[in-house]
Structure formats: structure tokens, C-alpha cells
């Protein structure tokens, strides 16, 4: 079997299929379970500087081709999260701490205080006031937050980008200028659903983020555009649920791939995807490096 081990975004990974932020990432035990199931790395639930309970329910709605969610960044604050990260890191698989804040110094303070294998900056959650995409849609803020975290931390820093913008490449370039070791694309698409019996917006927060197969073509396009313009690696995320999806994302230019909504099927998705990817590479006599960005090379 071809090796799936890669170096991506400053991390050495046994395989390129990672657990995405916000999915089964609240406890060290559930992150370890992803490691045992074959994840190449795990991104934690996003943590901020103060405890948050998140939005009232419903926090998810199943829609055609995907899932809407508005969890609202529930977290116990970084001060109460190191134990969970330590438990997860004991698995031996890299743990990427997702962090959020509303200004650069807040991000930097969290990054200074937490020990993890890397940080992923949540500059893209579409449904929390004063956080996420409310900062992340401005290139100058993306650059300054990234720079502040890089200065505060000695581990790789990834920046998760929002697709809810006219030009995601501009945001990616800003992250690169700030010194990011990689960008992660995409977060969910801002969306909503309405209960036609009563007219109530279904999500407790009214707005949420769309994930799942419906967003995959958007994610593939974003990864393709970013990979074509950035010098730093792109980690692809958005609607990947099968090994074929992972191959497509890697061909678009992703060095690694995160899986989120597909976990609705259970932890078995990691092995399904890595096994399928491995067999594909064998059948095509390709390495991961050769597969990465193949679509862009076909066009040039």
C-alpha cells in the first residue's frame, strides 16, 4: 500500500484525513476516539477566552444535501480546556487547537496559554456575533490576527477561512502575509431554514452554517483558487464524505483534508476514506504529492 504519511502545514501526519473543528471535539476522550478510528489529526472544538453556552436550540437542521448548524461557539474557555487537549495528545496523533477571539490580542493570549501541536484560527464561524467571519471577512484583520498569534506561539498556525466573501483568495493572501503556516478552507456557508407550518426560523440563532455534500463544489473551487495563488499549503474541508471526495479535494490542491459532517455516519468514515484513498493511489501508481494540485496542472 502507498504511504499516506505527509508533511502538511508544519505538521507530520500519518495520513491526510483530519477531524474538522466543531465535530466531536469537546472532550479529550472523543478526540482520542477519532485517533483510534484512524484520523491523521484532530482539530478541537473552538475555544475562546470566556465560557459560552452557545445558542438556544434547535442547533441543527437536516436539509437536502447537508446540515445547517448554529451551535454558537459553546466552550468552557481556554482556561478550562488544556486537560482535554492533553488527553487527546496522549493518543500520539497531532491535536490542532481551534481558537477564536474578537481581536488580535485575545487570540494571542489564548495561543500563549495553550499547549497544542498547532493552532487553527477560527476567523470564519458564520453565526456568532463579534467572532469568526465578522473579523475574518476583512483581509487586514486576518493578517493582524495571524501575525499576533504567530508572534505569541512557536507551533504552526493555520487560518480557517470563510467562503462568505467575494474573494477568498484575498483572505488567504492576508493569512499568508501574516505568517500563517497554512490555510483551511472552507468554513460553512451562512444559511437559514424556515418552518413553513409557523414561519419561525428553525435555528435558535436564526442563521447558521451549511455543511455537508451540498457545499463540496464550493469548497473544491475555493481550494483550487487558493492553491493556485498561495505559497503556503491549503487544507481542504467542506462536504467530504467519501474517499472520492477526498481525492477530488486533493486534486484541487489540498495538502490535507478535514472531515466533519460525514461523522454523522460514525467514526468509521476515517478508515473508509483512508483505505479508499490508499487503494486509489495504488491503482493509479501515484503518490499523494503527485495527486496534490493535479487539476491545476492539467489546466496550465
Partner 1 sequence: MRPINTVIEEVRSEAPLIRTFRLDRNLDPAPGQYVMVWIRGVDEIPMSFSGPDTITVQSVGEASGALFGLSAGSSVGLRGPLGNGFVLRGKRILLIGGGVGTAPLAFLGVQAKGAGIKVASLLGFRSIDDLIFQDRFEALGDTIITTDDGSLGIHGRAAAGLKELNLFDYDQIYLCGPEMMMWDIISRTQEHAEKTQACINRYFKCAAGICGSCCLDPEGLRVCVEGPVLMADRLLESEFGRYRRGPTGGKGPCRG
Residues that bind partner 1 (CB under 8 A): 22-33, 45, 51-54, 56-63, 67, 69, 71, 74-77, 80, 193, 195, 197-198, 200, 202, 204, 260-261, 263-264, 266
Instruction: Output phi, psi for 72, to 5 deg.
Output: 90, 30
Shortest distance in whole angstroms from residue 54 CB to partner 1: 7
> Of 21 and 104, which CB lies nearer to partner 1 in the complex structure?
21
Q: Is 32 one of the catalytic residues?
A: no
Rounded Cα–Cα distance for residues 98 and 107 (Å) = 10
Shortest distance in whole angstroms from residue 212 CB to partner 1: 11
In sequence order, what E strands does the chain have? 6-8, 11-13, 17-19, 41-43, 60-63, 66-69, 95-99, 118-122, 157-160, 182-185, 189-191, 208-211, 234-237, 254-259
Rounded Cα–Cα distance for residues 40 and 105 (Å) = 31
> Of 31 and 240, which CB lies nearer to partner 1 in the complex structure?
31
> Of 80 and 282, which CB lies nearer to partner 1 in the complex structure?
80
Catalytic, out of 32, 125, 222, 292: 125
Shortest distance in whole angstroms from residue 94 CB to partner 1: 18
* C-beta of residue 269 within 8 angstroms of C-beta of residue 200: no
Angle subtended at Cα 228 by Cα 239 and Cα 291, rounded to the nearest 5 degrees: 65
> Of 225 and 272, which CB lies nearer to partner 1 in the complex structure?
272
Shortest distance in whole angstroms from residue 72 CB to partner 1: 9
Residue 230, Cβ neighbours under 10 Å: how many? 18
Shortest distance in whole angstroms from residue 76 CB to partner 1: 3
> Of 80 and 290, which CB lies nearer to partner 1 in the complex structure?
80
| Dihedral sign from CA coordinates of 11, 117, 141, 250 | positive
At 57, list the grid cell: 436550540
| Dihedral sign from CA coordinates of 153, 223, 88, 53 | positive
> Of 60 and 294, which CB lies nearer to partner 1 in the complex structure?
60
Shortest distance in whole angstroms from residue 247 CB to partner 1: 23
Rounded Cα–Cα distance for residues 34 and 43 (Å) = 10
Nearest in space to 143 (alpha carbons), one of 187, 107, 112? 107
Q: Which residues pair with 162 in a beta bridge?
A: none
Residue numbers annotated as active site: 125
Amino acid at each position: 500500500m502507498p504511504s499516506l504519511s505527509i508533511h502538511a502545514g508544519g505538521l507530520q501526519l500519518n495520513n491526510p484525513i483530519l477531524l474538522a473543528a466543531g465535530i466531536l471535539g469537546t472532550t479529550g476522550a472523543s478526540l482520542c476516539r477519532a485517533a483510534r478510528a484512524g484520523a491523521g489529526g484532530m482539530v478541537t472544538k473552538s475555544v475562546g477566552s470566556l465560557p459560552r453556552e452557545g445558542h438556544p436550540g434547535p442547533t441543527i437542521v437536516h436539509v437536502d444535501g447537508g446540515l445547517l448548524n448554529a451551535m454558537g461557539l459553546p466552550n468552557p474557555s481556554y482556561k478550562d480546556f488544556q486537560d482535554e487537549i492533553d488527553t487527546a495528545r496522549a493518543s500520539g496523533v497531532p491535536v490542532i487547537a481551534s481558537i477564536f477571539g474578537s481581536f488580535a490580542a485575545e487570540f494571542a493570549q489564548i495561543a500563549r496559554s495553550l499547549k497544542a501541536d498547532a493552532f487553527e484560527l477560527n476567523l470564519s464561524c458564520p453565526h456568532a456575533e463579534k467572532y469568526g467571519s465578522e473579523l475574518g471577512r476583512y483581509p487586514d484583520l486576518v493578517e493582524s490576527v495571524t501575525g499576533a498569534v504567530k508572534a505569541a506561539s512557536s507551533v504552526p498556525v493555520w487560518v480557517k477561512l470563510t467562503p462568505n466573501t467575494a474573494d477568498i483568495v484575498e483572505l488567504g493572501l492576508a493569512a499568508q502575509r501574516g505568517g500563517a503556516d497554512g490555510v483551511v478552507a472552507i468554513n460553512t456557508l451562512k444559511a437559514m431554514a424556515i418552518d413553513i407550518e409557523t414561519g419561525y426560523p428553525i435555528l435558535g440563532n436564526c442563521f447558521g452554517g451549511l455543511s455537508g455534500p451540498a457545499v463540496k463544489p464550493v469548497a473544491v473551487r475555493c481550494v483550487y483558487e487558493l492553491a493556485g495563488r498561495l505559497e503556503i499549503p491549503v487544507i481542504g474541508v467542506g462536504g467530504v464524505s467519501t474517499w472520492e471526495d477526498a481525492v477530488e479535494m486533493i486534486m484541487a490542491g489540498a495538502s490535507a483534508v478535514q472531515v466533519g459532517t460525514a461523522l454523522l455516519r460514525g467514526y468509521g468514515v476515517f478508515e473508509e476514506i483512508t483505505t479508499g484513498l490508499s487503494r486509489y493511489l495504488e491503482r493509479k501508481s501515484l503518490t499523494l504529492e503527485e495527486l496534490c494540485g493535479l487539476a491545476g496542472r492539467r489546466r496550465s
